[in-house]
Amino acid sequence: MIEHDAPSVTAYLVGVESDVQPAAAEALLQELEALTSTLGIRVVGREMARVREISPRYYLGSGKADEIATRVKDLEADLVVFDQDLSPSQQRNWEALTKTSVTDRQGVILEIFADRAQTREAHLQVDLARLEYMLPRLTSAWSHLSRQRGGRRGTRGEGETQLEVDRRIVQSRIASLRRDLKGVAGQRATSRRQRTELPMPNGSIVGYTNAGKSSLLRALTGSDVLVANKLFATLDPATRRLELEGGQEVLLTDTVGFIRRLPHGLVDAFRSTLEETLLASFLVHVVDASDRAAIEHAKITQSVLKEIGSHDKPTITVLNKTDLVQRHERAMVELEFPDAIPVSAATGEGLSELRGQIREIVAATFHRIDVSIPHARYDLAALIHRTGRVLEETHEESVVQIRADVPERTRQIVQEFSSA
């Protein structure tokens, strides 16, 4: 666990250039700096280390490790953060060498998720991921106690006894969290089923973290969704109604942001959140036009969508934050995303076009109906107006004749009435 409450906490960052190109490694290190700063930790130094052969002791070579340890001491950094995941033994070796706390990218992301969690499900998911990360690292917490005499009965030291107690506590807590998550998953499944039974289309807003997904949802729907210029500001999915031209309504769900090298434990823990995209009729892929890594971030989002089986859904790509981009830079990014809609959630630019595109995608899944509805059941007529597109409506003495294009669920409801 990273202690970052005090404002004086400082960190030294170490990037690793091995299996990635120098430019990509530098981009990852910059992202790690943004992640660390998100926790309120001040970065006092950073460097890139080239690795030709991974060392089991420090991941880096011992000579480079000594250099880094000297810099950390000179800068009086409270924390060393590696962009590469460290094994528990490597982390302990680094802490012994630097005489300070050491963590990696996975540990930082886990702390951010812990800070951002709002709902009970999110807290359970984060707690589970953190404990699974912590379990193999427990030995470092008790390395100051005697446990050097082997493991036979009667020869265990105080530290080893305490370590076994802690392991049992953590393992018991992990099992309890998994049971609780199953119950919460059942509740979410019920909520999803209720949404799918609603006679209106639904879409999911996806994209890299801090691309402006929540801002876009708020701008489109006028809702009170949390908006913050932070990485992983949104962990819990928020669903709001969007009213399109003609009164038609659509459900839009904001989802957790994607990021490079997201810890596998969190991918699994937040799969229930990401699976919102599986239920969506369409996706709105938000790309930050002001980010120099926009192309790479879009590829990562598409890769995660493919991993969870949502990549083949109708998708609208949106270039958000265009108000922050200079004219020549905007022209370049629009060339990279020729089919995208330039949008600014802050100024409202492009929102009308986006609503129109959503309406077109939704209309492509509609069914044509011709129905006669008694005036006493005008609630059905209102449903058709709200969820579909009315092409023709004629009011007669006792009925309303409607020809419309409607979603499948509305068609089923009207058909049930007609056959009753």
Q: Which CATH number fits the domain that encloses residue 251?
A: 3.40.50.300
Note the pLDDT of residue 149: 33
User: Residue 111 — φ and ψ, nearest 5°?
Assistant: -65, -40
Domain of residue 410 covers 367-419
- Choose one of 327, 347, 363: the last residue of a domain: 363
Q: What's the confidence (pLDDT) of residue 152?
A: 37
- Quick one: angle between helices 213-221 and 351-363, nearest 10? 80
Determine, yes or no, domain membership for 192. Answer: no
Q: Measure Cα distances from 84 to 30, 59, 301 in Å.
A: 13, 9, 21
What is the per-residue pLDDT for 148? 35
Report CA Rg, the chain: 27
Asked if residue 148 is part of any domain, the answer here is yes
- Which of 115, 146, 170 is at the close of a domain? 115
Question: 238 and 343, same structural domain?
Answer: yes
Q: Answer yes or no: do 405 and 277 share one domain.
A: no
Are residue 107 and residue 125 in the same domain, yes or no?
Answer: no
Residue 102 belongs to a domain: yes
One domain for residues 279 and 174: no
Question: Do 249 and 298 share a structural domain?
Answer: yes
Are residues 33 and 62 located together in one domain of the fold? yes
- Domain boundary (115, 132, 151) is at 115
Same domain assignment for residues 219 and 335: yes
Residues 111 and 57 grouped into a single domain = yes
Say if 190 falls within a structural domain. no
313 alpha carbon, distance to own chain's centre: 19
0.85 cut: is pTM over it? no
Assess if residue 36 is contained within a domain.
yes
CB 115 within 8 A of CB 50: no
Q: Is residue 248 part of a domain?
A: yes
Single out the residue of 31, 29, 35 nearest to residue 17, CA to CA: 29
Q: Are residues 270 and 226 in the same domain?
A: yes
Residue 2: closest CA among 93, 94, 76, 100: 100
Structure tokens of 83?
Answer: 């962009």
59 assigned to some structural domain: yes
Q: What is the CATH number of the domain that holds 27?
A: 3.40.50.11060
Please state the φ and ψ torsions of residue 45, each to the nearest 5 degrees. Answer: -170, 155
Residues of the chain short of pLDDT 70, as ranges, are 1-7, 19-20, 118, 139-161, 185, 187-199, 224-237, 263-276, 420
In a domain, 409, yes or no: yes
Q: Which two tokens stand for residue 192?
A: 């999803």
Same domain assignment for residues 132 and 216: no
| Same domain (yes/no): 97, 156 | no
**Structural domain total, the chain:** 4
Residues 232 and 97 in one domain: no
**Which residue has 């802690």 as its token pair?**
166
d(CA 99, CA 103): 13
